[in-house]
Amino acid sequence: MRIVVLAGGIGGARFLRGLKAAAPDTDITVIGNTGDDIHLFGLKVCPDLDTVMYTLGGGINEEQGWGRTEESFHVKEELAAYGVGPDWFGLGDRDFATHIVRTQMLGAGYPLSAVTEALCARWKPGVRLLPMSDDRVETHVAVTLPSQDTAGGTDGEADGAGERKAIHFQEYWVRLRASVPAHAIVPVGADQAKPAPGVLEAIGEADVILFPPSNPVVSIGTILAVPGIREAIADAGVPVVGLSPIVGDAPVRGMADKVLAAVGVEATAAAVAQHYGSGLLDGWLVDTVDADTVARVEAAGIRCRAVPLMMTDVQAAAAMAREALALAEEVRA
């Protein structure tokens, strides 16, 4: 059984850990989001690829869901001592090694897909991890910054009269904690990007395609924005099943509701399914608290089941993965 999974950061990585446990003898290819990527201190940082690699490779900082376990921050402290910013993105000493190796290989001319394969040779995630593209794509967010906002912080609410500007997704997400309204989410470069080698082939050879509970806008939405990927999935002729990242009208983790609002999608399990659309999705899992919304999703032409969707541990994630694979077989029949 060949499974293709479109993954973002924490939610996608935790789901993949469950999928590996639920279906150990399947061939899993992960198409990872690279819109979160950021260049810092001359290094290329790929948060979503690293979160999948570290989580499945056993190096993740479990409670954070990003960065390394047993981490220290001496390099970060020294950079701050030199007054070299930004200081709001927590890069640890062990994590820096990943970005140094990646940047060195990119500088030597290797494409991101080859670099990711090389990094995974160490971590052995047990899946094939492909970046969505070898081309640079960076998600930027159009916001109105309160006029008092300086580099160091913000007073929270936008006073409307503030300055409208586009900022990098990580600044919106990490420095501002999504505390100002997002007017637009733009995956800069996506329209010129090409799917990375192996991406379209993996989709074409898949027996089932899964959308884990990753952010539907900035993670899965960004992957789908790479020309050719959405079409390949829609035309794959195999079941495409997604799991809602929204439970009980709120995101399980992160701030997906903020970016959903930016694209005019209400933060409900049904609205996200309809956002993907029946042209893409064949099946959709909602949490049991959203059982009353199953009929609405089915009315949109998407088969729907209500099952527990809280990934409290690997076994819970494995149960969700089994439900998704079961729904895929039901759809295939």
CB 119 → ligand FO1: shortest distance, Å? 12
Cβ nearer to ligand FO1, comparing 14 with 296: 14
Smallest distance, Å, CB 84 to ligand FO1?
16
Q: How far is the CB of 314 from ligand FO1 (least distance, A)?
A: 20
Residues lying near ligand FO1 in the complex (CB under 6 A) are found at 8-9, 36, 45, 47-48, 50, 66-67, 89-91, 95, 170, 173-174
Contacting residues for 265 by C-beta, under 8 A, at least 6 apart: 216, 217, 271, 272, 275
CB of 95 to ligand FO1, least distance (A): 6
Bridge partners, 29 (sequence order): 4, 128
Alpha helix stretches (DSSP H) within 59-162: 74-81, 93-107, 112-123
Comparing CB distances to ligand FO1, the nearer of 92 and 195 is 92
Least spacing, CB of residue 19 vs ligand FO1, in Å: 18
- The answer to whether the beta carbons of residues 129 and 113 sit under 8 Å apart is no
Of 99 and 305, the one with the shorter C-beta distance to ligand FO1 is 99
Q: Hey, CA dihedral for 116, 215, 140, 97, is it positive or negative?
A: negative
Which residue number has the CB closest to ligand FO1? 9
21 CB-contact burial (10 Å; exposed 0-12 / middle 13-18 / buried 19+): middle
How far, in Å, CA of 103 to CA of 40, rounded? 11
Sequence-distant (≥ 6) Cβ neighbours of residue 246 within 8 angstroms: 252, 256, 257, 260, 267, 268, 269, 271, 272
Distance from C-alpha of 222 to C-alpha of 201, rounded to nearest angstrom: 19
CB of 73 to ligand FO1, least distance (A): 10
Return the number of the residue (48 or 290) whose C-beta is nearest ligand FO1: 48
Of the candidates 187, 168, 162, the residue with the CA atom closest to the CA atom of residue 88? 168
Sheet holding 208-211, edge to edge: 128-131, 27-32, 2-7, 208-211, 240-243, 283-286, 303-306
Type of residue found at 311: M
Q: Which is nearest to 62 in space by CA: 315, 324, 313?
A: 313
How near is the Cβ of 321 to ligand FO1 at its closest, in Å? 20
Cα Rg of the chain (Å, integer): 19
Q: Which is nearer to ligand FO1, 255 or 297 (CB)?
A: 255
Residue 9 or residue 283: which is nearer to ligand FO1 going by CB?
Answer: 9
- CA dist., res. 54 & res. 134, Å (int): 20
Q: With respect to ligand FO1, which residue has the nearer C-beta, 100 or 326?
A: 100
Q: How far is the CB of 244 from ligand FO1 (least distance, A)?
A: 18
Please say which residue, 31 or 45, places its beta carbon nearer to ligand FO1: 45
